[in-house]
Amino acid sequence: MSTASGDPTTGTADFSAAPLADASAPDEWEHGQDAISGQSTTEVSGTEQQSTAWETAEHAEPGAAVPAYRPTRGRYRGSSGGYELDLRVDVDSVPGGPKVLRKVSGDFFSTGGGTKAYFGSFIVDAPTVSWTATKVVIRGVAEYTWKTAYELVRVTIPRSRANQRPGAATVEFLRPPGQLGATYVCPFVSPYFRTVEWEQDSVTGAVPFLSYDTGSLPQPANSPARILTVPRAYAEAGIELLVSGTANVIANSQNGWTNTELHAAMETNFSLWRNAPQWKLWLLVASSYEGMAGVRGIMFDAADAFQRQGCAVFYDMVQGNDPESQRAMLRTYVHELGHSFNLLHSWQKNLAQPPAPLGGNNGFADLSWMNYAQNYQPLNGNGGAAAYWGAFPFQFTDNEQIHLRHGFYRNVIMGANAFATGAADIEPELFDEPLTDESGLRLDLRADKNGFSFGEPVVVELKLETTDLRGRSTHNHLHPDDELVNIAIRQPSGHTVLYRPLLRRCVDQDQTVRLDAGRPAIYSSAYIGYGRDGHYFQQPGTYQLRAAYLASDGSRIVSPVLRLGVRHPVSQTDTQLAELMMGEEQGKILALRGSDSPSLRSGNDALQEIIERHGTHPFAVYARLAKGLNFEHEFKSLSPDKTELTVRPPDPKSGIEQLAQVVKVSEQGKGVDNLTLNLATRRLARAYARQGDLEEANSTLDRLMRHFDTPAFKPYVVDAVRNQVDTTKARLTAEFGG
């Protein structure tokens, strides 16, 4: 809400003058009578099916003189008393048009001189609608983003024939029982509820999606065959997606795009826009995602003040001209753009602020663009991708459409409220243990050390194992960045917050793992010290952590509580090091595993200072890890005008210098956890191979195998590491052996 004074609903009416139409007739609020003309009306509530004149015309006898009217829906805009009102009316439709949600909503902006600022929003959830031959009257009690006594809203719109321009809406705000406040006359603007400019670029060789014929493959009987483009899919939800700007083709490299490169590309390209909320979106059709298989797309979401403005889809994962590929490509585009509108995955809606109700089976039963096809699991019947596509009507769910059309302004517009939230706090009860648990799975959350120094990166390990001797199958997306695992953090202050990854990747691919006697558990390591809300461990004290894993069948597996202590600094050096580690840019670099982004230069300088001045301190291993991983890999940068791609080649010498120290200290038990050591050692081997020393690369991998091939590790863990080592050796030989 804006800090502007006043209230756009109160108006400046002089009640000592002649009475206005309804000031002396409050009973009209409750009865379907037209107080002016005396004509009877047809009245429906927000939950009833209306019967309108244009519907009557559809079924009239031949020759019957029944007028056809325009539907009463769309966007209207008007001004009064220094405020502008954007009104959205959603009470009427046409056959085959967008679904009627029976809502009225609006956004207020305060205006002065040449400026305009957002003030607040309102929504009428279940209005009463009355039709006469000449007008439609909509009444209801509104929910506002601010406190006002004028909570009653009345909208009057003249009925227009199909060949007439829609008339203006008169919007009145009243204080119970009928005292009139402000009045706005709002001319018709658009049949769409919101309009968004969409700019799309692609890398060389990536062909952007065009359209899909929904009748080319079997589909539900209630879903008519039609040609769907991405803008058309959003038009069916009532949102106008205007293709804007020139579609640029950007140079590509043979390697995929990393989190850090995409993050930097977003910041470079969006610097051309104002740093303010705007109805604008950017989508990059990139080649592939490096670092994890199965990632079809990412919604960029850097932890700054202007989030949800850009996303990417990965062409190598979604390409194909056959109907199945085109259908999946359409879903990926609509899905990723949906995140930019602040729509969560179907199984995550209860984690929003304020929380939204989940659909059936913890959200997995939703037939929505925002579900994964392979995750679809109705309460009764078969699930999976085939069942999803057989039942999917190519639509958002009703509550998703309500958000898109009528969500409060800052919760929807790109660059305003952060993804999934208006605040970071969540309800701890969301992580309560289930009353019964027959899932056959158990989740454990633990840390490699008993406590952390203030400023030290907090890394946790997740373990999912079977408790059923017969074995269980589920997905292997155990890292919280994949968003099928959530971690709640109860801070020493008593607030409970949700760890939310800096960048959200959509791992939209079925990756099933069988947990049985031969492989009873899978593991993942996650840095959770920094995310979209900034640093989560900002003060010394005791933290309580709990994780929840959503299994393939919809079961919610909750871990026991993990208690972590963050120690107070005991010396001036400790305080200085904590300050060097706790900057916002340093947090981003650690979360991204290094970055060359110019916007993070001061963060890189701080980490370099730790290495140079405090090289033997335990914090130095984390600075070296981020620097070493970044040096070992190339870094792609887009020019601001998106016409040139600069590739900084890998620097294996500098990578070896940093990663060798990380591996050495960690093998002694004084550095990173074992899962991170595994990653760092394999990347160190790759740096040696890049430098032409394949023998040292293999020797490094052999040393990794010796570290794990001890009685301290379970046999199936040793076997998993051995497979990783053998696979890495083969890849390095194939890539660098010749």
Enter the DSSP assignment of 499.
-
Tokens of 586: 């340093």
Among candidate residues 514, 436, 500, the one with its CA nearest the CA of residue 472: 514
The average pLDDT across 297-325 equals 82
Final residue belonging to a domain, choices 168, 189, 210: 189
Distance in angstroms (rounded) separating the CA atoms of residues 75 and 86: 7
Contact yes or no for 729/698 (Cβ under 8 A): yes
What would the pLDDT profile of 74-123 be if each residue is shown by its tens digit? 999 999 989 999 999 999 877 667 789 999 999 999 987 777 889 999 99
Residues 485 and 530 in one domain: yes
CA atoms within 13 A on the CB side of 302: 25
Residues 216 and 311 in one domain: yes
Residues 202 and 182 in one domain: no
- pLDDT exceeds cutoff 80 at 224: yes
- Alpha carbon dihedral 138, 144, 147, 148, in 10-degree steps, equals -20
Identify any residues that bridge with 83 across adjacent strands, giving them in sequence order: 80, 110
Q: Given phi > 0 = left and psi -120 to 50 = alpha, else beta, which region is 524?
A: beta
Tell me, what CATH number does 613's domain have?
1.25.40
Percent of the chain at pLDDT > 90 equals: 60
Distance in angstroms (rounded) separating the CA atoms of residues 627 and 662: 11
What would the pLDDT profile of 379-404 be if each residue is shown by its tens digit? 888 899 999 999 999 999 999 999 99
Among candidate residues 127, 258, 236, the one with its CA nearest the CA of residue 593: 258
CA angle 360, 363, 366 (to 5 degrees): 75
Q: Of residues 535 and 40, which shows the higher confidence score? A: 535
Decide: helix, strand or coil at residue 310.
Answer: strand
The average pLDDT across 122-142 equals 95
Final residue belonging to a domain, choices 568, 592, 610: 568
Distance in angstroms (rounded) separating the CA atoms of residues 31 and 24: 14
Contact yes or no for 395/232 (Cβ under 8 A): no
Q: 4 vs 116, 145, 357, CA distance in Å?
A: 11, 14, 33
Q: What is the DSSP string of 210-223?
A: --EEGGGS---TTS
Residues 381 and 487 in one domain: no
Residues 383 and 302 in one domain: yes
**DSSP β-ladder status, 451-453 and 562-567:** parallel
Evaluate the omega torsion of the peptide bond into residue 176 and state whether it is cis, within 30 degrees of 0: no
Per mean pLDDT, which range of 88-92, 178-182, 420-424, 478-482 is the poorest?
Answer: 420-424
pLDDT for 45: 44
pLDDT for 377: 93
Per mean pLDDT, which range of 18-32, 208-222, 705-719 is the poorest?
Answer: 18-32
Question: Mean pLDDT score of the chain, rounded to an integer?
Answer: 85
Task: Tell me, yes or no, whether 601 lies in a domain.
Answer: yes
pLDDT for 247: 77
Task: Tell me, yes or no, whether 209 lies in a domain.
Answer: yes
pLDDT for 464: 96
What lies within 8 Å, CB to CB, of 232 at 6+ separation is 211, 226
Task: Tell me, yes or no, whether 3 lies in a domain.
Answer: no
Tokens of 454: 């203030």
Enter the DSSP assignment of 293.
T
End-to-end CA distance of the chain: 63
Contact yes or no for 505/289 (Cβ under 8 A): yes
- pLDDT exceeds cutoff 50 at 10: yes
Residues 491 and 575 in one domain: no
pLDDT for 380: 85
Residues 455 and 498 in one domain: yes
- pLDDT exceeds cutoff 70 at 40: no
Residue 118 identity:
Y
| Residue with the two structure tokens 């960045």 | 481
Enter the DSSP assignment of 676.
H
Distance in angstroms (rounded) separating the CA atoms of residues 309 and 273: 10
- pLDDT exceeds cutoff 70 at 51: no
pLDDT for 452: 95
Per mean pLDDT, which range of 141-145, 589-593, 608-612 is the poorest?
Answer: 589-593
| Residue-wise burial string across 451-489, b where 16 or more C-beta atoms lie within 10 A, e elsewhere | ebbbbbbbbbbbbbbbeeeeebebbbbbbbbbbbbbbbb
Q: Of residues 639 and 422, which shows the higher confidence score? A: 639
What would the pLDDT profile of 598-641 be if each residue is shown by its tens digit? 888 999 999 999 999 999 999 999 999 999 999 998 888 777 66
Q: Is 99 exposed, middle or buried (0-12, 13-18, 19+ CB in 10 A)?
A: middle
Residues 550 and 576 in one domain: no
| Residue with the two structure tokens 């107080």 | 35
Decide: helix, strand or coil at residue 711.
Answer: coil
Per mean pLDDT, which range of 31-40, 246-255, 662-671 is the poorest?
Answer: 31-40
The average pLDDT across 362-379 equals 93
pLDDT for 305: 63
- Domain region containing 708: 570-738
Distance in angstroms (rounded) separating the CA atoms of residues 275 and 273: 6
Q: Of residues 204 and 406, which shows the higher confidence score? A: 406
Task: Tell me, yes or no, whether 244 lies in a domain.
Answer: yes
Distance in angstroms (rounded) separating the CA atoms of residues 66 and 56: 7
Q: Is 287 exposed, middle or buried (0-12, 13-18, 19+ CB in 10 A)?
A: buried
The average pLDDT across 441-455 equals 92
- pLDDT exceeds cutoff 60 at 65: no
CA atoms within 13 A on the CB side of 685: 27
pLDDT for 270: 59
Q: What is the DSSP string of 335-348?
A: HHHHHHTTPPPTT-
Compute φ and ψ for 58, nearest 5 degrees: -60, -35
Residues 386 and 253 in one domain: yes
Percent of the chain at pLDDT > 70 equals: 86
Give the rounded distance of the alpha carbon of 491 from its chain centre.
24
Compute φ and ψ for 29, nearest 5 degrees: -60, -30
| Residue with the two structure tokens 């927000």 | 46
Helical segments of 132-207, H only: none
Distance in angstroms (rounded) separating the CA atoms of residues 153 and 181: 10
pLDDT for 727: 95
Task: Tell me, yes or no, whether 15 lies in a domain.
Answer: no
Distance in angstroms (rounded) separating the CA atoms of residues 685 and 690: 9
Identify any residues that bridge with 79 across adjacent strands, giving them in sequence order: 84
Contact yes or no for 116/109 (Cβ under 8 A): yes
Contact yes or no for 336/298 (Cβ under 8 A): yes
Task: Tell me, yes or no, whether 110 lies in a domain.
Answer: yes
Contact yes or no for 142/125 (Cβ under 8 A): no
Q: Where does the pLDDT of residue 22 fall: very low under 50, low under 70, confident under 90, or very high at 90 and above?
A: very low
Decide: helix, strand or coil at residue 138.
Answer: strand
pLDDT for 433: 74
Q: Where does the pLDDT of residue 701 fall: very low under 50, low under 70, confident under 90, or very high at 90 and above?
A: very high
- pLDDT exceeds cutoff 70 at 13: no
**DSSP β-ladder status, 194-203 and 239-243:** parallel
Q: Is 720 exposed, middle or buried (0-12, 13-18, 19+ CB in 10 A)?
A: middle
- pLDDT exceeds cutoff 90 at 152: yes
Task: Tell me, yes or no, whether 605 lies in a domain.
Answer: yes
Distance in angstroms (rounded) separating the CA atoms of residues 173 and 325: 50
Final residue belonging to a domain, choices 519, 549, 568: 568
What lies within 8 Å, CB to CB, of 410 at 6+ separation is 118, 121, 277, 416, 417, 422
Distance in angstroms (rounded) separating the CA atoms of residues 125 and 32: 19
Residues 503 and 384 in one domain: no
Q: Of residues 587 and 638, which shows the higher confidence score? A: 587
CA atoms within 13 A on the CB side of 276: 4
Contact yes or no for 727/721 (Cβ under 8 A): no
**Total domain count, the chain:** 4
Tell me, what CATH number does 537's domain have?
2.60.40.10
Q: How many CB atoms are located within 10 Å of the residue 156 CB?
A: 19
Distance in angstroms (rounded) separating the CA atoms of residues 115 and 276: 13
The average pLDDT across 475-491 equals 91
Q: Where does the pLDDT of residue 429 fall: very low under 50, low under 70, confident under 90, or very high at 90 and above?
A: low
**DSSP β-ladder status, 541-550 and 562-567:** antiparallel
Residues 181 and 42 in one domain: yes
Contact yes or no for 454/567 (Cβ under 8 A): yes
Evaluate the omega torsion of the peptide bond into residue 428 and state whether it is cis, within 30 degrees of 0: no
The average pLDDT across 230-259 equals 85
What would the pLDDT profile of 641-668 be if each residue is shown by its tens digit? 666 778 889 999 999 999 999 999 999 9
Tokens of 39: 């004509």
Q: Is 168 exposed, middle or buried (0-12, 13-18, 19+ CB in 10 A)?
A: middle
Task: Tell me, yes or no, whether 2 lies in a domain.
Answer: no
Per mean pLDDT, which range of 59-63, 452-456, 492-496, 708-712 is the poorest?
Answer: 59-63
What would the pLDDT profile of 669-699 be if each residue is shown by its tens digit? 999 999 999 999 999 999 999 999 999 999 9
Residues 178 and 230 in one domain: no
